Amino acid sequence: MRILFIHPNYHSGGAEIAGNWPPAWVAYLAGALKENGFDDVHFIDSMTHDIDDERLKEMIEELNPDIVGCTAITPSIYKAENVLKMAKEVAPNAVTILGGIHATFMYRQVLAEAPFVDAIVRGEGEEIMVEVAKAVAEGRWMETRSSIKGLAYVVDGLVIATPAAPTVKNLDAIKADWSILDWPKYNYIPLGVRVAIPNMARGCPFTCSFCSQWKFWRDYRIRSPKAVVDEIIELRDKHGVGFFILADEEPTINRKKFVAFCQELIDRDVGLLWGINTRVTDILRDEALLPFYRKAGLIHVSLGTEAAAQLKLDLFNKETTVAQNKKAVQLLRDAGIVVEAQFIVGLENETAETLEETYRMACDWKPDLANWSMYTPWPFSDLFKELGDKVEVFDYEKYNFVTPIMRPDAMDRAELLDRVMNNYRRFYMKKALFSYPFAGTGDRRKYLWGCLKAFLKAGFERKFYDLGKVDYWGPQSKKKVHFDFDLTRERANDEDVEWQVTHNRKNNTMHEAAVAMACGGGKEQMAEDDAPLMAAPLHGGRQQMDEQHACAGNGAQDACGCDADCGCESDKRAKSGPPRTTFTIGGAKPNPVKVSHENAGA
């Protein structure tokens, strides 16, 4: 049986300006499938190879697969739907499968607008995909799909959601098939080497309202540091990888495991430079460890910092946080680590003054790099629901951090974009003339000049921030800027979105002034005994995150938070799962049984 995975051809001028990023999701899925005897697995990365629709259809037809699988984050959902539509046209007997975070929570809307999708995989895909492949291979897909946990599909106009599959309980048991990727294509422009995006953990122990990572992964699990380094050495030796970025939203949150990971890199003389995203509070906590992290190869830290518009709401929070941010930047620079400050802009209360304030912050803190991202409310996050009518754009293709989704009260979207570009121009002009030439020697200097090269390349090619698509050429062109929102796209009904997700963690107590922080912007700290090192590691993820909420003994913990097979009422409910959710597309709705993503049999 032949299985074909396709990465949709979506571009936005965001993170891709630094190079082509390898889609790790397919390596983990292919590894799980091959481990279970499915060896005829193919992959088309239409994004990296920039494959147009006609050529993609030809490639699908030539391969004649039995299963076609595609993934999508929110901005790539329409491209992914179109991929599966084309697959049905040229391989009508193939089973079309869609996965990823957007389809997981928006499966009702997706199935309504994409009837050519045979099923949606909700949540982590490795174990679910193996079950799907077995059913298709044995010719029992239609008869037994209802028994496969973690699916959503349509029968006679009704959306059926089976109970959610359990989270993967042994991450280290999943061996990624990295050979499925065309490695010469995955180049990191700042260093001119191949790049990989492995991860240490899935999930997050906290439940911030603006975030979706904890919702998708449901519980927090972390791999064995040795297993992660084994994987990195394989990537280096077999595939020529010269730089990696940990895909975790915050790999430093479990300090014990992160320190053990760094020690493993040093002891085994891995010799690679690497980067992470993390929080200011973790840097302050680990001040004495920063030289050790640098010795392990850490060269780039991206810090989540607050939006000035949000900080304006709480002057006390602003005064303390700004001082902490400035100190964290200086500590990293003193340790020889390149530091990037992330600013979120474009909230409804954004003004010219708050945008200017982020620029002044960047000048005062002196990060090596700065990034201004447009605030993007994920349509399945709690905050999206709370924003209500303040969200006017439902064209998900533009939910990409570079397009203004929210319209500030004090300016239009074109002016917002122009002022953000003004921040970029001033910041990097000063850096190029007065900072980077005096950045010392060695890895740090080489890295910074490489980053400047990446910015300049994207700017000259008009790819940076999607400027070419919106026809922005500078302040003189802001009146001609066009974002081309698809106004036919409508907001999903609240009942068509999975909002509620149960979890193993304490309720979030984040201060209201922190709701618009960038990734890694939270302030909570995880107690080190929350995930003891003696616990067996849990899952092996894709390109989003992976970690384990570890417990002693057999290393397994159920959704109830007790030991495995504890027998409590929550454990019994989790194993049996509630009834399936059904409702009619385009017709009268029966009263649906609301089944949340995790409650459905986790």
Cβ atoms 159, 122 nearer than 8 A: no
Which of 480, 515, 539 terminates a domain? The answer is: 480
Same domain, 221 and 96: no
Residue 279 lies in a domain: yes
Number of alpha carbons in the 13 Å side-chain half-sphere of residue 564: 12
Kindly provide the b/e burial profile for residues 421-443, where b requires at least 16 CB atoms within 10 angstroms of the residue's own CB. Answer: bebbeebbeebeeeebeebeeeb
* pLDDT value at residue 340: 97
Specify the CATH number for the domain of residue 438.
Answer: 3.80.30.20
Are 142 and 187 part of one and the same domain?
Answer: no
Q: What percent of the chain is predicted at pLDDT more than 70?
A: 78
Residue 568 is predicted with a pLDDT of 44
**Is 551 contained in some domain?**
no
Task: For the beta carbon of residue 214, count every other beta carbon within 10 angstroms.
Answer: 22
Note the pTM of the prediction, 2 decimals.
0.84
Query: Is residue 548 one of the residues assigned to a domain?
Result: no
Whether 509 shows a pLDDT value over 50: the answer reads no
Q: Which domain holds residue 112?
A: 3-123+125-161
Q: Structural domain tally of the chain?
A: 2
Nearest to 68 by CA among 25, 102, 99: 99
Does a structural domain hold residue 518? no
10 Å CB burial of residue 202 (0-12, 13-18, 19+) is buried
Verify that 323 and 469 share a domain, yes or no.
yes
- On whether both 192 and 134 belong to a single domain, the answer is no
pLDDT for residue 520 is more than 50: no
Last residue of a domain, one of 433, 455, 480: 480
List of E strands, 346-440? 369-374
Per the domain annotation, does 268 fall within a domain? yes
Domain-terminating residue out of 463, 480, 497:
480
Lowest-confidence pick of 31-35, 479-483, 572-576:
572-576
> Do 147 and 205 sit in the same domain of this protein?
no
Q: In sequence order, what are the residues at sequence separation of 6 or more whose Cβ sits closer than 8 angstroms to the Cβ of residue 433?
A: none
Query: What residues does 4 pair with on adjacent strands?
Result: 42, 68
429 and 461 in a single domain? The answer is yes
pLDDT of 213 > 90? The answer is no
Are 299 and 398 found together in one domain?
A: yes
Q: Is the pLDDT of residue 494 over 90?
A: no
Encode pLDDT of 361-416 as tens digits: 999 999 999 999 999 988 988 778 888 899 999 999 999 999 999 999 999 999 99
CA 320 to chain centre: 29
Mean pLDDT of the chain: 83
Same domain flag for 185 and 153: no
Residue-level pLDDT at 209: 58
559 inside domain: no
Q: Which two tokens stand for residue 226?
A: 């040795």
- Per residue in 315-370, pLDDT tens? 445 455 788 899 999 999 999 999 999 998 998 889 999 999 999 999 999 999 99
Q: How far apart are the C-alpha atoms of 58 and 345, rounded to whole Å?
A: 42
User: In sequence order, which residues have a C-beta less than 8 Å from that of residue 437 and are 6 or more positions away?
Assistant: none
Evaluate whether 231 touches 199 at the Cβ level (below 8 Å).
no
Q: Are residues 141 and 73 in the same domain?
A: yes
What's the pLDDT at 564?
38
Shared domain check, 202 and 175: yes
Q: Does 494 fall in a domain?
A: no
Q: Among the listed ranges 24-38, 125-139, 163-177, 519-533, which one has the minimum average pLDDT value?
A: 519-533
Write the CA distances from 546 to 167, 390, 398, 406, integer angstroms: 11, 33, 27, 31
CB of 574 closer than 8 Å to CB of 590: no
Exposure of 249 in the CB half-sphere (CA atoms within 13 A): 25
Angstrom CA distances, 72 to 51, 88, 310, 438, 538, stand at 17, 18, 30, 42, 24
Query: Do residues 174 and 168 make contact, with C-beta atoms less than 8 angstroms apart?
Result: yes
Q: Among the ranges 258-272, 452-466, 567-581, which has the highest mean pLDDT value?
A: 258-272
Write down the pLDDT at residue 510. Answer: 33
| One domain for residues 67 and 193 | no
**In Å, what is the CA distance from 46 to each residue of 11, 69, 110, 133, 341?**
11, 13, 21, 23, 31
DSSP assignments along 278-333, one per residue: EEHHHHHHTGGGHHHHHHTTEEEEEEE---HHHHTT-HHHHHHHHHHHHHHHHHHH
Q: Are residues 287 and 413 in the same domain?
A: yes
Per-residue model confidence (pLDDT) at position 169: 83
Strand partners of residue 273? 243
Instruction: From 457, 462, 465, 468, select the one nearest 424 (Cα to Cα).
Output: 465
- Checking if the pLDDT of 533 tops 70, the result is no
State how far the Cα of 97 lies from the Cα of 254, in Å rounded to an integer.
34
Residue closest to 417 by CA, chosen among 106, 13, 87, 92: 13
**Rounded distance between C-alpha atoms, residue 227 and residue 246, angstroms:** 14
* CATH classification at residue 98: 3.40.50.280
Residue 573 belongs to a domain: no
The pLDDT of residue 120:
98
Higher pLDDT among residues 460 and 260, named by residue: 260
Q: pLDDT (tens digit, 9 = 90+) per residue, 6-64?
A: 999 999 888 889 999 999 999 999 999 999 999 999 999 999 999 999 999 999 999 99
Better pLDDT: 210 or 120: 120
Element (H, E) at 155: strand 151-155
